[in-house]
């Protein structure tokens, strides 16, 4: 009789137990959805003082390049040799071929470095090259 009662109690406990597997499946699917659809902010790795402009518009960016006041070029939080700009731009543009290139040049930066970066982007096949400014 005791065995029958133990079997009856254990079957009641099984009926009352909540199966969490479907809930965990839904949570993991939502997590995957948010990871895949999230957009990550690209940073250059150096702060620049941009110039002001009256007109400005938003762009789809795949490559973000910064030129600081010491005429150093920064891409993806790394200082880049001016001779290797095209290789870095090609690598980042391959990740998002639909986006353009935005150059964040400091107010005190040399225009030669800006032109060098724009030429490297054009040589890498990027047609949409822009210069970031502050909206006045």
The answer on pLDDT for 28 being more than 90 is yes
**CA atoms 113, 119, 120, 125: torsion sign:** positive
Beta carbons of 124 and 85 less than 8 angstroms apart: no
Mean pLDDT over residues 27-44, rounded?
A: 79
**CATH fold of 52-135:** Nucleotidyltransferase; domain 5 (3.30.420)
**Chain centroid offset of residue 58 CA:** 16
pLDDT of residue 37: 77
Ordered by start, the domain boundaries in the chain are 2-37, 52-135
pLDDT of residue 120: 92
pLDDT of residue 52: 66
Mean pLDDT over residues 108-125, rounded?
A: 90
How many Å apart are CA 60 and CA 107, to the nearest integer? 23
Q: Could you tell me how many residues make up the chain?
A: 136
Q: How confident is the model at residue 13 (pLDDT cuts 50, 70, 90)?
A: low
Ramachandran angles phi, psi of 32, nearest 5°: -65, -40
The answer on pLDDT for 27 being more than 90 is yes
pLDDT of residue 1: 52
- More confidently predicted of 102 and 39: 102
How many Å apart are CA 76 and CA 109, to the nearest integer? 19
- Each residue of 39-85: pLDDT tens digit? 666 666 666 766 666 666 666 667 888 998 999 999 888 899 989 99
pLDDT of residue 94: 85
How many Å apart are CA 124 and CA 68, to the nearest integer? 22
Q: How confident is the model at residue 4 (pLDDT cuts 50, 70, 90)?
A: low
């Amino acid at each position: 009789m005791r065995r029958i009662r133990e079997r009856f109690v254990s079957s009641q406990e099984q009926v009352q137990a909540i199966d969490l597997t479907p809930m965990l499946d839904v949570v993991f699917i939502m997590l995957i959805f948010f990871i895949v659809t999230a957009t990550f902010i690209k940073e250059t790795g150096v702060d620049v003082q941009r110039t002001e402009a009256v007109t400005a518009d938003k762009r789809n960016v795949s490559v973000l390049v910064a030129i600081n006041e010491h005429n150093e070029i920064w891409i993806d939080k790394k200082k880049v040799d001016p001779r290797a700009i095209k290789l870095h731009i090609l690598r980042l543009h391959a990740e998002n071929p639909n986006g353009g290139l935005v150059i964040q040049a400091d107010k005190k930066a040399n225009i030669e470095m800006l032109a060098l970066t724009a030429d490297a982007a054009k040589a890498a096949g990027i047609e949409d090259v822009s210069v970031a400014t502050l909206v006045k």
